[in-house]
Amino acid sequence: MSYVLGFEEIDRTRVAVVGGKGANLGELSRVEGVEVPEGFCVTTDAFVRFMEGAPAIEGRIDALSRVEPDDRDAIRVSSAEIRDAIEELAIPEEVAAAIVGAHARLGVDGAYAVRSSATAEDLPTASFAGQQDTYLNVVGPEAILEHVRRCWGSLFTERAVTYRLRNGFGHSMIRMGVVVQRMVFPRAAGIAVTADPVTSDRTVVSIDAGFGLGEALVSGLVNADVYRVRDGDIVDRTVATKKLLIEPVPTGGTRVREIESARRDEPVLSDAEVLGLARSARRIEAHFGSPQDIEWCLDGPNFRIVQSRPITTLFPIPVAADRGNRVYVSVGHQQMMTDAMKPLGISVWQLTSRAPMREAGGRLFVDVTDMLSSAKTRTALVEGLGTSDPLMGDALRIVLDDADFIPAATQEDSAVAPAALAASAAEPLAADPEIVAELTAAAEASIAALTRDIRTVSGPDLLDFIHADIQHLQRVLFTPRSLQVITTAMNASTWLNDRLREWLGEKNSADALTQSVPGNVTSEMGLALLDVADAIRPHPAVVAHLRQIEQHGATDHDFLDELAGYPGGDEARAAFDGFLEKFGMRCAGEIDITRPRWSENPATLVPTILGNIKNFGPGAGPQRFQDGLRDAEQNKARILECLRALPDGERKAEETEQMIDRVRTFSGYREYPKYAMIVRYFLYKQALMGEAGRLVAADVLRDPEDIFYLRFDELREVVRTRSVSAELITERKAAFRSYQALTAPRVLTSDGRALTGAYRHQDLPAGALPGMAVSAGTIEGRARVISDIAQADLDPGDILVTAYTDPSWTPLFVAIAGLVTEVGGLMTHGAVIAREYGLPAVVGVEHATSLIRDGQRIRVDGTEGYVQILSQPDE
C-alpha cells in the first residue's frame, strides 16, 4: 500500500489513487515542452487509513447522504460536524512518515502548495472546481501535515457536499488525495482556456492574466487582462486596470497588496509571452485530447503549468463522418424539448425521423451543412427555420456571413431538400374537412392494429417488430398529404397576416381567426381536464383527498385506487380513467420514450385539476370552446365587412374568406401527427418495459429502467444474448447526469461555436425583453415562473413563464392569461394553443426564466413581440 507517489509515478489513469487533480498533474509532467513544478501526491490509501481512526464518522456521512440538496441548514450543520471531527483526528504514524519523507526528498526549506485532489474532481464530466481547499506557501513539515489534514477535511465543506448531492455523487464513494507541490513565486499568473468561454469557439485560446499569484483572479479579487489567440495571431486584447495582487509572505501564507499606480495599466504579458503560452496550451490540449482549462504561472522567463482540467461546461461537438466544416441545428428547439435525453429515447427518435441527425450532449442535431452549401435550399432553409425560430435563423445567417466556413456545393443538386420544404412548395389544398378525416382515420386504424399485434410478440421478435412499425409510422404520419395539410394552413395564415396588414393595417390577424378550430387534439386535452374537474368538484371528500396527494406527493396509482373509499370516488375514478385512456400517453418531454407518462404517474395531474376546481365553475370546458368559436366567427365577419368596403373589396373578401376556411379546416390537424406518434411510443414503451421485467427476472438487469441507458440496437442485442455490460450502464448514467447540466445551443458548428443569434426588433420600450410574437394581444399580470407542471399553482390572470411547453403543458393554458417561453416558434405547440385559446404569447425570450422573477408584474405584448417587467413581487 503506497501512501505517497511522485509525479513521475502518476498518469491520468491513477484518478482512483491520487484524485483528479493529482492524476492530471502527473500526466502534465509527461507533456513535452511543458514545465510542471516538482511535487508528490498523498494517495487515497492514506485518506482511507486516516479515516479508519474514526469509524463513527461513517454514520454521519451516511446520514448526510440522505439530506435533500436544497436543505442548506442541515447541510451546513452536518458538514461542519464531520469536517471538525476529521480535523481533530491524528494522522497515523506510518502515513505521516511517508509524507514527511517525500517532503524531505524535495527539500524541507522550500515553500509548497498543498491542494485537495478528490477522486471526483477535474473529471471529463464534472470539474468540482473550487469545491475543496487549496493552501499556498506552506513552510515546514509540521505545516505540511496540518494542511494535508485540512484538505482531507475540505471534502466536507458545505459547498462540496451541496455540489455532490446535486450531481448525484455519493459522499462515501469519493476519496481524497492531496497534491504537495513546490511553490512558484510568479511575476504573473492566470488561466488559459483552449476554447472561447463565451462562444465556445474551439479555434480560440483565451488567456486571463494578472500580476502575482493566480488566486487573485480565481477569487474575483482583481480584473484580468484578457488575450484571445487564433491560429497564432492575437485577435483581441483587453488590458485591465489592476489595483491589487496576492503575494506570498516569507513566513508562510499569502497577503493582498496594492499595485503601484504606475504599473496598474501595464499589460501583464508581452505579445511573445501570450503567443508562447497559447502554443503550450494547444500542446496540452492535444495531449489530453479535449479542450482544457489551464492554470499557469510566469516564473522569470518560463511558464510553469500548475493544473489542467477538462472544460466540462462546453457543449460537445457531434462526431461527423469527415473533418470538414459542419453546421448543426438543434432538434430540441424545434420539438420543444431541450432537456437531455437518455440513449434509448435518442435512438428511437433517430429511427423515427428521416433527418440526418447527430448526437451530442444528450441532444440531437440535424446536420444542415449540405442544405446551406446549396443555393437551391439555402434560402428556404434559413427563412423556414427563421420563421419558426428567429434566433435560429439569425444564427444561421451569422454562419453564412463567414464565407470561408461553408463552401458552395460543387453540384447544385447535391443538397436534398427536406420533405417540409418540398411540401411548402406544393399546391395548397381546398378547405375540405374530409381530407383531415381520412388522414386521422388511417392513423387510428394503424394504431388499433399495433395495439392488437404488439401483444403477440416478445424477445428479439419484439425489437424487430417495433423497428418495422416505426417505418410504418413514418409512412402513415409523415406522408406528403399530411405535410401538405399542415403547410396549407401555415401558408394561409401567413397570407392572412400579410394581406390584412396591407389592406386593413391590422397585425397578426390570423391569430384571432384560429380560436377553437375543430380537431385540435391537444387543445381538446386541456378542455377535457376541465371536464375531469367538473366530475370531482361536487365531492368534497375526494377533493380533500387530492389535496393531501398534492401536499405529500404520490408516484403511482395508489391514490386512484383509494378514491373508491370516498363518497363520489367511483365517479372521480371514472373521470380520471377516461382522461388517461385518451391522453395518458402524454408527459413533459414526450419525444423521449423513457419519460414517465401520465398513465404511469397520474399524480402529476392533481395540481392542475385542483387548480381547475378552484378557478372555474361547472361546464367551463364546453363554454370556453364556444366562446372562442364565437369570437373567431365575429372576427371573420368583421374582417370581411371591412374588406368589402375597400376598392376591389369583393375580390379581396372572397380571397380572404377562402384563406380563413383553409386555416380553420386544417390548423387543428397540426397537433395530430405528434399525438398519434406519442400513442405509438407509449405502446412501444409498455412492451419494452415488459421485456425489461423479464430481463430483471433472469438477472440480466438490476432494474427495468436500465434499458433507458441502452440504444435501441444495443437493447436488441441484450435481449438476444441475455447479456449486458453493467459498467456501460453505469457510465451512461453518469454521462446523462453531466448532460443535464448543459444548455443546448440552437446552432452548433464543428469548430465548437454555440450560436444563439439576436432579434432585430426596432423601437422596443426601454428594458423590454425581445421575443417572437406568436399570439396577438397585450396582457398584464403576475408572472408565474414554473419549471414543472406538477408544481403549478395558478390563479386567474397569471402569466405562465417557462423554458418551453410541449403538449403536456396544455392543461395549464386554460387557467392563464398569457404565455412567455424561452424556446418556441410560430408553429410550435405553445404558439398554436395560445392562439386557439386567445392568449397573448411571446416565445423565444432568451433567459426569460432567470430575468423574470416569480411574482413580478409583467406586460406581454403578443402583437409586437416583447415582455416588460412592470414591478417587483408584492409591490
829 among known catalytic residues: yes
Burial of 163 (0-12, 13-18, 19+ CB in 10 A): buried
Q: DSSP readout, 802-841? A: ES---GGGHHHHTT-SEEEESS--TTSHHHHHHHHHT--E
Written as nine digits, the cell of 1 is 500500500
Q: Compute CA distances 389 → 73, 329, 337, 383, 841, whole Å.
A: 43, 11, 14, 10, 14
- H/E element holding 188? strand 188-193
β-pairing verdict for 799-802 and 818-821? parallel
Q: Which of 682, 592, 674 is nearest to 350 (CA)?
A: 592
| Catalytic-labelled residue, pool 103, 557, 829, 847 | 829
Q: Helix 375-388 crosses helix 390-401 at what angle (to 10 degrees)?
A: 150
Question: How many CB atoms within 10 Å of residue 240?
Answer: 17
Sheet with strand 4-6: strands edge to edge: 4-6, 39-42, 176-182, 111-118, 134-139
Question: How many CB atoms within 10 Å of residue 704?
Answer: 17
Q: In the block, which residue shows the cell 374530409?
A: 434
How far is the C-alpha of 563 from the C-alpha of 553, rounded, in Å?
15
Q: Is the torsion defined by CA of 369, 371, 375, 381 positive or negative?
A: negative
Q: Compute CA distances 342 → 164, 356, 600, 848, whole Å.
A: 21, 19, 18, 26
Sheet with strand 225-230: strands edge to edge: 233-238, 225-230, 204-211, 188-193, 292-299, 302-310
Q: How many helices (H) and strands (E) does the chain have?
A: 32, 26
Q: Compute CA distances 424 → 415, 709, 816, whole Å.
A: 17, 38, 33
- Cβ-proximal residues to 770 (8 Å cutoff; 6+ apart), any chain: 759, 761, 764, 845, 865, 866
How far is the C-alpha of 45 from the C-alpha of 413, rounded, in Å?
63
- H/E element holding 784? strand 778-785
**Helix ranges (DSSP H) in 553-671:** 558-562, 569-583, 606-615, 620-644, 649-666
**Helix ranges (DSSP H) in 505-619:** 509-513, 521-536, 540-552, 558-562, 569-583, 606-615
How far is the C-alpha of 567 from the C-alpha of 545, rounded, in Å?
11
Annotate 432-465 with b (16+ C-beta within 10 A) or e (fewer): eeebbeebbebbeebbeebeeebeeeeeeebbeb
Q: Compute CA distances 332 → 78, 392, 746, whole Å.
A: 40, 12, 8
Burial of 420 (0-12, 13-18, 19+ CB in 10 A): middle
Q: Which of 95, 108, 160, 109 is nearest to 134 (CA)?
A: 160
Annotate 764-775 with b (16+ C-beta within 10 A) or e (fewer): eeeebbbbbbbb
Written as nine digits, the cell of 401 is 456571413
Q: Compute CA distances 649 → 510, 513, 637, whole Å.
A: 19, 20, 14
- Please answer whether residues 25 and 120 qualify as being in contact, where contact means their C-beta atoms are separated by less than 8 angstroms: no
How far is the C-alpha of 445 from the C-alpha of 434, rounded, in Å?
16
Q: Helix 141-153 crosses helix 72-87 at what angle (to 10 degrees)?
A: 150
- Please answer whether residues 836 and 517 qualify as being in contact, where contact means their C-beta atoms are separated by less than 8 angstroms: yes
Q: Compute CA distances 696 → 326, 692, 722, whole Å.
A: 42, 6, 10
Positions annotated as catalytic residues are 829
